[in-house]
């Protein structure tokens, strides 16, 4: 046992039959629509319940409620069958849970919480349980279940989380009455007992059951922070009976650091990042070569309205390979344009070409450029695919953490074809 804590017209018969057929079709469509609506609502409720986070301030009271409920269920069942006490002591462990749900004529769902007690190491693991039903029946109610695990493998499989399908039936009426329950989840290694807490239900259904560890209530080494850490646990965190057992394949050496008191983030991650960047630029240091001449510094050109507008979408997949080392891969797409106005000083260009406009005969290029400025709006579009790899070395202690990111990113199939909307006069040549 676990340690408790604190009318008819013949001439119109043809049309009447057609009308009846149309009405029947409409009714069938409505039934299907209503059924689909029920399915959507049930699945939505299940998903919201499964993903709900228990507030930090409520966690201890929820644990205590589950523990008290477990004792109450066991006491009630033992009062009906005294031999159950020996079965509890001889079992590898047991699960006691409270499940509430509803069943419309075809579809139903139930969700709940429970506590798994391991007789071998005297640990308590708090579990989520969700069930989706398809079959005949009607009703709503709350039930408590007791599952005895006679086999170690069955207990460990249950604790590690599972999806299970099967056939089941329920019948119950009133409050605190015994219920008749059968399900394919029961085999030679598992015994299941049930108590009806409230409501009325009669069902025969195909069932899909999901069981998973509730990381909010169970201290199993999973950190609420995104980096490995020690000393930053919540004050209400489970202490007595905490399993502190890492059930996941990664990271390597996880159990060793868990035993040292560290908390680790979940090992796998996926992220999608979208960025829209508008960047102003300051350009200088231009070098120009005209008519095949070598490029030389040319300070008679200025730039205005220079910027780079881009948008990118990037997918990131990551995993904690070691407790202190996260590795990730990146794949993305980028596109945009880089507009810029190039301001050319005509007189400066003539000087650069060595043309003297002060002596006869007059050079035609002088009339074209002397004392004038030219604006060349240039727009350079670009697009391409980016990919990369990287790692993050990270760790935390109390309220302090260190993270060292290292990454290499590549871009390929980049196209950049400048568009110039103004041409220089032919006299320049």
Work out whether the CA dihedral 48, 51, 53, 59 comes out positive or negative.
positive
Residues 62, 171 share a domain = yes
Number of domains in the chain: 2
Residue 232 lies in a domain: no
Residue 36 is assigned to a structural domain of this protein? no
Residue percentage of the chain with pLDDT more than 90: 28
Residue holding tokens 């069955």? 154
- pLDDT tens track for 209-229: 899 999 889 888 888 778 888
Neighbours of 269 (CB within 10 A): 14
Does the structure show a pLDDT above 90 at 271?
Answer: yes
| pLDDT for the residue numbered 370 | 81
Report yes or no on 313 lying in a domain: yes
Q: What is the DSSP letter of 298?
A: -
- Rounded mean pLDDT of the chain? 78
Rounded distance between C-alpha atoms, residue 224 and residue 53, angstroms: 11
Query: What is the rounded average pLDDT of the residues 367-391?
Result: 86
- Give the residue with greater pLDDT, 349 vs 307: 307
Dist CA 258 CA 220 (whole Å): 8
pLDDT at 197 (0 to 100): 73
Six-digit token pair at 167? 């056939």
- Same structural domain, 208 and 302: no
Neighbouring-strand partners of residue 199: 141
Domain that holds residue 63: 52-213
**Tell me, what's the pLDDT at 181?**
39
Domain assignment present for residue 340? The answer is yes
* pLDDT reported for residue 407: 93
Task: Quickly state the pLDDT bin for 70 (edges 50, 70, 90).
Answer: very high
Is this model's pTM higher than 0.85 or not?
no
pLDDT digits (tens, 9 = 90+) for 194-207: 887 765 556 566 77
pLDDT tens, position by position, 319-377? 999 999 999 999 999 998 888 888 888 777 777 677 888 778 778 888 788 878 888 88
> Which range, of 1-10, 64-73, 284-293, 298-307, averages the lowest pLDDT?
1-10
Residues 201, 317, single domain; the answer is no
Q: Are residues 196 and 293 in the same domain?
A: no
Q: Residue 138 in contact with residue 199, Cβ under 8 Å?
A: no
């Amino acid at each position: 046992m676990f340690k408790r804590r604190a009318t008819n017209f013949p001439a119109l018969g043809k049309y009447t039959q057609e009308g009846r057929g149309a009405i029947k079709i409409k009714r069938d469509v409505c039934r299907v629509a209503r059924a689909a609506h029920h399915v959507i609502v049930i699945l939505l409720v299940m998903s919201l319940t499964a993903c709900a986070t228990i507030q930090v301030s409520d966690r201890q009271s929820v644990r205590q409620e589950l523990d008290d409920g477990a004792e109450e269920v066991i006491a009630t069942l033992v009062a009906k069958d005294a031999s159950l006490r020996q079965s509890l002591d001889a079992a590898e462990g047991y699960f006691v849970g409270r499940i509430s749900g509803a069943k419309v004529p075809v579809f139903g769902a139930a969700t709940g919480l429970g506590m798994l007690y391991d007789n071998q190491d005297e640990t308590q693991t708090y579990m989520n349980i969700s069930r989706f039903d398809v079959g005949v029946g009607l009703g709503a109610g709350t039930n408590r279940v007791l599952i005895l695990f006679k086999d170690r493998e069955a207990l460990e499989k249950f604790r590690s989380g599972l999806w299970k399908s099967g056939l089941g039936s329920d019948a119950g009426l009133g409050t605190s009455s015994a219920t008749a329950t059968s399900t394919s989840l029961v085999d030679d290694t598992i015994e299941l007992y049930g108590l009806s807490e409230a409501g009325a239900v009669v069902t025969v259904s195909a069932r899909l059951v999901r069981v998973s560890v509730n990381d909010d209530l169970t201290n199993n080494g999973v950190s609420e922070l995104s980096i490995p850490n020690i000393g930053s646990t919540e004050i209400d965190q489970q202490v007595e009976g905490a399993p502190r057992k890492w059930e996941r394949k990664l990271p390597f050496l996880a159990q060793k650091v868990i035993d040292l008191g560290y908390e680790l983030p979940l090992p796998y991650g996926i992220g999608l990042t979208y960025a829209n960047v508008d960047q102003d630029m300051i350009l200088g240091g231009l070098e120009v070569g005209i008519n095949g001449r070598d490029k030389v510094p040319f300070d008679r050109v200025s730039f205005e309205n220079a910027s780079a507008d881009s948008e990118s979408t990037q997918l990131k997949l990551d995993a904690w390979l070691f407790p202190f080392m996260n590795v990730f891969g990146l794949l993305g797409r980028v596109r945009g344009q880089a507009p810029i106005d190039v301001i050319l000083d005509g007189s400066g260009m003539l000087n650069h070409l060595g043309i003297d406009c002060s002596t006869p005969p007059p050079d035609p290029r002088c009339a074209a450029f002397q004392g004038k400025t030219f604006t060349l709006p240039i727009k350079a579009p670009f697009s391409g695919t980016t990919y990369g790899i990287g790692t993050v070395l990270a760790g935390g202690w109390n309220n302090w953490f260190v993270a060292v990111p290292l990454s290499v990113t590549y871009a390929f199939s980049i196209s950049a074809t400048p568009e110039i909307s103004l041409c220089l006069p032919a006299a320049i040549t």
